[in-house]
Chains A and B, each alone.
Chain A
Amino acid sequence: MNAIPQAIEAAPLLRVDGLTKWYGHVAGCRDVSFELRRGEVLGVVGESGSGKTTLLNCISGRLPPSSGTVEFDTSRFGLTDIYGLNEPDRRRMQREEWGFVHQNPRDGLRMRVSGGANVAEPLMNLGNRHYGKMRSATVEWLQRVELDTRRIDDKPRNFSGGMQQRIQVARNLIHGPRLVFMDEPTGGLDVSVQARLLDLLRELVRDLGLAVIIVTHDMAVARLMADRLIVMKDGFVVETGLTDQVLDDPQHAYSQLLVSSVLQI
């Protein structure tokens, strides 16, 4: 009686196995394996060029790996190799179950349509055809990301970088995804804006019980957001563990270097 729910609880949301990506002779990421559970926030840290973005793109179905598998617990097919799905099914799964927050809002927003339409688009992609309902959902989400709802019809370029990022966050959460990818979501922002956005992100992720994979080279971001960390160097995962463990007691020489270089704030 109890066994089945436990089994479901124990089954991973995402399972990455032996993931490797070569760009010609250059390694993007090598032999990366890990599992992610529902509601878990995984931080991916490492210096520039260590393969964080490559890994994130491979996992999120945007960059086919050279070898290895990415399995996701899809609502339609159960735990499935995402690159084994046909393209329309994979796109549909990405649309319905995932979000992707880019470092540069230009990569994640349609700059030619209003902030409100950007936020509402995922609802339309899921087949919503009632303007009034989408409008109120959009207003609600603008409030949740602490944006002035009177500016709902302004174009993204008329918003500051931090506000654009909030629009991007709302756009990637409004449809109720189960897993959200974030590539340096606060990377391009100045420190005070960064801190407020991070607080907001952390609250939303907790309230919604979201699973998140967040790439950052900022240990403070990792500390604040992540339950667990993986540390990358030269494409390999050199250390993995609970965030506090890794940051307070790094085992690998490279992690020690990484942590010591930034933590004395």
Chain B
Amino acid sequence: MNARPNEPERYYNYAYLDEQTKRMIRRSILKALAIPGYQVPFGSREMPVPYGWGTGGIQLTAAIIGPDDVYKCIDQGADDTTNAVSIRRFFAQVADVAVTEDTGEATIIQTRHRIPEQPLKAGQVLVFQVPQPEPLRGLEARETETRAMHAYEEYGLQYVSLYESVATYGRIASTVGYPTMVDERYLMSPSPIPKFDNPKMGDNEAILLFGAGREKRIYAVPPHTTVRSLDFEDYPFETQTWDENCALCGAQDSYLDEVVLDDTGARMFVCSDSHFCADRRAAGHVGPMADHQLAALETEPT
């Protein structure tokens, strides 16, 4: 590897993890891609952030990133949150890569809780941070038993949680981490993304990688794989919808966050995908509150 501009200040191995570890993680990734939705155990390492802060996603990124990559990191859809900013800085430093907020320009996008609105393309990799990879864990505490359920494709238990939800709320109320079947074989937790994003996983052109650091599991959805959200015949899967459009860019089809503006209860709905929203405004789209001070905040360079 040639000397890089910041070589002297780089104290760690390229992309932080040692080469043996990266090789081990890559092997797990290949296995995960070969068996879509199957949770592959891997030797998760200590990372310079605590569990729950994206250690699984960071290790995946470290294992696949190269100097020519362009890296984007989002938390809840936003590029400018503390966690996203610090993980992005981390890779800019240890992997010496270009960083971006532009979804289309990025080659690796690490995410917590969202899939970008802009459709992904072939050649892109979306890396999810996963707190709990086992969708059945809440109902079955025994790992031996959940493993057998996956091995023998016994997924009746997952429907028990949907049944409970319909019985209690009159509909399948789960809104994040909504369980999916991958390639009609493995039951998979999509990580805590809103169910709004579930349909984006199916037949995606990009590679979807999921990393759970504490639970030491990697799983994947290769490009153009079917991903079906579970439901009942008489209670079909539905995504969230909003009566409002984005207050800043007027988007009608994006995932909206509710922002409380003052203590009299005034509120606005804005795109959770900050880059998507900024892009639209730059292209001249305006929402009903386009001149609100939040708009200025959102476009300020970080």
Q: A residues within 8 Å of B by Cβ? A: 87-88, 91-92, 95, 110, 112-114, 116-117, 120-122, 124-127, 129-132, 134-135, 152-153
With known contacts A110-B160, A126-B156, A153–B167 Cβ distance under 8 A:
yes
Cβ–Cβ contact A87 & B234, under 8 A: no
The answer for the CA separation of A120 and B159 in the assembled complex, in Å, is 10
Cα of A132 to Cα of B162 in the assembled complex, Å: 13
In the docked arrangement, what's the CA distance between A110 and B152, Å? 21
Choose from A88, A131, A152 the contact partner of B152 (Cβ within 8 Å): A88
| Total A-B residue contacts, Cβ distance less than 8 Å | 59
Name the CB-closest residue of A to B149: A91
Instruction: Decide if B122 is an interface residue (CB 8 Å cutoff).
Output: no
Tell me the B138-166 residues at the A interface (CB within 8 Å): 139, 148, 151-152, 154, 156-157, 159-164, 166
**Chain B contact residues, majority secondary structure:** helix
B163 touches A124 (CB 8 A): yes
Question: Shortest CB–CB separation between residue B132 and chain A, in angstroms?
Answer: 16
Secondary structure of the A contact surface, majority rule: helix
Check A117/B152 contact, CB under 8 A, given A124-B159, A130-B232, A131-B234: no
Question: Taking CB as reference atom, which chain B residue is nearest A133?
Answer: B234
A126 — nearest CB in chain B belongs to which residue? Answer: B156
Min CB distance B136 to A, Å, is 12
Chain B residues within 8 Å of A, Cβ to Cβ: 139, 148, 151-152, 154, 156-157, 159-164, 166-168, 232-235
Q: Are A117 and B164 in contact (CB under 8 A)?
A: yes
A114 engages B167 (CB within 8 Å): yes
Question: Given A116-B167, A131-B234, A153-B167: A91 and B160 within 8 A (CB)?
Answer: no
Contact status of A124 and B167, CB under 8 A, knowing A87-B152, A88-B151: no
B141 to chain A, nearest CB (A): 10
Which residue of chain B has the shortest Cβ distance to A116 in the bound complex? B167
CA distance in complex: A114, B154 (Å)? 21
Residues A121 and B156 in contact, CB atoms below 8 Å apart: yes
Q: Is B164 within 8 A of A129, CB to CB? A: no
The distance from the CB of B234 to the nearest CB of chain A, in whole angstroms, is 5
In the complex, what residues of B have CB within 8 A of residue A92's CB? 152
Whether A113 and B139, one on each chain, are in contact in the complex, defined by CB atoms closer than 8 angstroms, is: yes
Known A87-B152, A153-B167; contact A113-B234, beta-carbon cutoff 8 A? no
Q: How far is the CB of B205 from chain A (nearest CB, A)?
A: 30
B158: nearest chain-A partner, CB-CB:
A124
A114-B167, A130-B232 given. 14 additional CB < 8 A pairs?
A88-B152, A91-B154, A110-B160, A112-B139, A114-B164, A116-B163, A120-B160, A120-B163, A122-B156, A124-B163, A125-B156, A127-B156, A129-B232, A152-B167
Given the known A-B contacts A112-B139, A125-B156, are A131 and B148 also in contact in the complex, defined by CB atoms under 8 Å? no
Q: Given A87-B148, A131-B235, are A110 and B159 also a contact pair (CB < 8 Å)?
A: no
- Complex: chain A residue closest to B159, CB-CB: A124
Q: Verify B233–A130 contact, CB threshold 8 A.
A: yes
B160 touches A121 (CB 8 A): yes
* 10 pairs, CB–CB < 8 Å, chain A vs chain B: A88-B151, A88-B152, A110-B160, A116-B163, A117-B160, A122-B156, A124-B163, A130-B233, A134-B163, A152-B167
Q: Check A131 against B160 for contact (C-beta < 8 Å).
A: no
* A33 to B162 alpha-carbon distance, docked (Å): 44
Give the chain B neighbours of A113 by CB distance below 8 A: 139, 160-161, 164
Complex Cα gap A129–B168 (Å): 17
Known: A88-B151, A110-B139. A131 touches B166 (CB 8 A): yes
> Are A131 and B232 within 8 A (Cβ)?
yes
Distance from A94 Cβ to chain B, minimum over Cβ atoms (Å) = 11
| Min CB–CB distance A114 → chain B (angstroms) | 6
State A174–B52 Cα separation when bound (angstroms). 42
A159 to B68, CA, bound (A): 63
Q: Chain B nearest CB: distance from A48 CB in Å? A: 29
Contacts of A125 in B (CB 8 A): 154, 156-157
B169 CB, min distance to chain A CBs, angstroms: 11
Inter-chain contacts of A135 with B (CB < 8 A): 167
Most buried by A among B151, B161, B233: B233
- Which residues on the A side are within 8 Å of B160 (C-beta)? 110, 113, 117, 120-121, 124
**In whole angstroms, how far apart are the Cα atoms of A135 and B159 in the complex?**
13
- Complex CA–CA separation, A126 to B154 (angstroms): 9
Most chain A Cβ neighbours within 10 Å, of B148, B152, B163, B164: B163
For A127, the closest partner residue in chain B by CB is B156
